[in-house]
Amino acid sequence: MDVIARLRAWALARPRVLLVDPPAKVMLRWSVEAELDRRGWRSAASPADADLLVVLGEPGPELAAAVDVLWSQIPEPRHRLDLHHERALAVDLDAGLDALVRRSAGVVSGADRPSPASLLGTGADADDEDADGEGMDHEGMDHEGMDHEGMDHEGMDHEGMDHEGMDHEGMDHEGMDHEGMDHEGMDHEGMDHEGMDHEGMDHEGMDHEGMHMHHSGEVAGLPMASTASDRDGLELDVLKVALGPVLPGWPTGLVLRADLQGDVLTSAELAWLDADLLPAARPHPDPQQAALDRLARFLDVAGWSTAARDARRARDGLAADGSDQREAQRQAEAVARRVHRSRTLSWTAGGIGQAPSERSSGAGVLDRVRRWCDAASGRPVEDPPAASLDDIAALVEGVEIGSARLIVASLDLSPVPVVPASEHAHA
């Protein structure tokens, strides 16, 4: 193995993983997370940060389409790994890593990969008339005071340019200084700007009156910001944004669409992908393990990755026997105590996620997380009532994106109603 190959293998030894876990694959996700923690592979914060895309089970049609968009956004080298069962999990991950390293050794042009815009059907691949200046209105554009010093005329097409009255006889353009040259009255109609190098061109003093610019709509398939009055009456940019359906610590399949006005979310709407195709959710038989799992996902969103890893290890260790289970219980109590007493978390999550009807009782993100800490320690805790999508939309109204992520992560959400354990046993 040569030096380049060794460096390539070293750089990809611990790839970033973007995990797609449909709601019905909880136990498979736990096994994958345990193996990733054992290897020291960290989760990717976004598709741009990912090396491996790991898809659990068979996503529904809507989620599968979203996964295709995510896949198109992951830069090379990349590899997609579909896992359907826990058997040979380590072997599958090793094979995925080997494929990633092999792909990094090849020359990838990217010509065969579809663009995200084409998958979304936004029509961004259509010809952009504004790209070459065609259709640009120069009428009323005043070049007086425009500094052409450093302007490269090589490749500039003067055909159709009206030079009437301008004497070029004996005029040497090489090294010609245009500084102070008056273009007033010069007709640019029919002038082709293709190939014109504007580097070094000074636009100071240039009058753009009459030039039409578009500040809304779509450019390259991406929505541009418009403006609207905020709650204080100020005109702020408004951009359509969406969170989900795949984010670290985010309920897979949940999509939040809202207007981002300034730095806060407004007019939020939430929906589940493939909700009609999913089986009814069942509560986990061990509420302590379930609480540790919820706590770990919240801590990942809050940026406390070491505590999240400890919570996952305690969650997995509780399924063992003997001394391993006792050690997991001690670890669960330790991480719950550390999170419950954290001043940083109290400062970060305190005061957000409170419904108007709950503000008097102080029920918010921090209270829900501390309830999970109690359950993670093994103490009996009463489950709060399930939150509807309309309730969540009201909670994220007027908050920042980071706060909205924490609010959603503090809720135990499911796309279908949870069947009580007694009813499931009876069935």
Tens-place pLDDT, residues 354-392: 866 555 445 799 999 999 999 999 998 888 888 889 999
Q: How far apart are CA 390 and CA 407, in angstroms?
A: 14
pLDDT band at 110 (very low <50, low <70, confident <90, very high): low
Give 300 or 23, the one with higher predicted confidence: 300
Q: Are 390 and 402 in contact (CB under 8 A)?
A: no
Residue 191 is predicted with a pLDDT of 47
Residue 155 is predicted with a pLDDT of 46
Residue 77 domain-assigned (yes or no) = yes
Which domain, by its residues, includes 312? 275-426
Q: Which residues, in sequence order, are CB contacts of 95 under 8 Å at separation 6+? A: 81
The amino acid present at 82, given as its one-letter code, is D
Of 52, 76, 105, which marks where a domain is finished?
105
Residue 39 domain-assigned (yes or no) = yes
Task: Residue count of the chain, please give it.
Answer: 427
Residue 143 domain-assigned (yes or no) = no
Residue 153 is predicted with a pLDDT of 47
Helix (H, G, I), strand (E, B) or coil at 302: helix
CATH for 63: 3.40.50.12280
Give 338 or 179, the one with higher predicted confidence: 338
pLDDT band at 160 (very low <50, low <70, confident <90, very high): very low
Q: Which residues, in sequence order, are CB contacts of 19 under 8 Å at separation 6+? A: 29, 32, 33, 43, 54, 56, 248
SS (H, E, C) 126-181: CCCHHHHCCCCCCCCCECCCCECCCCECCCCECCCCECCCCCCCCCCCCCCCCCCC
User: If you average pLDDT over residues 385-412, what whole number do you get?
Assistant: 92
Structural domain tally of the chain?
A: 2
Residue 51 is predicted with a pLDDT of 95
User: If you average pLDDT over residues 226-247, what whole number do you get?
Assistant: 75
Residue 123 domain-assigned (yes or no) = no
Of 73, 105, 137, which marks where a domain is finished?
105
Residue 117 is predicted with a pLDDT of 65
Sign, Cα dihedral of 172, 176, 179, 185: positive
- The pLDDT of residue 331 is above 50: yes
Give 104 or 30, the one with higher predicted confidence: 30
Helix (H, G, I), strand (E, B) or coil at 1: coil
- The pLDDT of residue 140 is above 90: no
Sign, Cα dihedral of 297, 299, 305, 310: negative
Residue 205 domain-assigned (yes or no) = no
Residue 261 is predicted with a pLDDT of 86
Residue 126 is predicted with a pLDDT of 45
Residue 24 is predicted with a pLDDT of 82
Residue 9 is predicted with a pLDDT of 86
Residue 162 domain-assigned (yes or no) = no
Greatest CA separation for the chain: 101
Its pTM surpasses 0.85: no
SS (H, E, C) 323-353: HHHHHHHHHHHHHHHHHHHCHHHHHHHCCCC
User: What rounded mean pLDDT belongs to the chain?
Assistant: 77
pLDDT in tens, 262-294: 889 999 999 999 988 877 667 777 899 999 999
Of 59, 78, 105, which marks where a domain is finished?
105
Residue 200 domain-assigned (yes or no) = no
Residue 65 domain-assigned (yes or no) = yes
Q: Which residues, in sequence order, are CB contacts of 391 under 8 Å at separation 6+? A: 355
Residue 278 is predicted with a pLDDT of 76
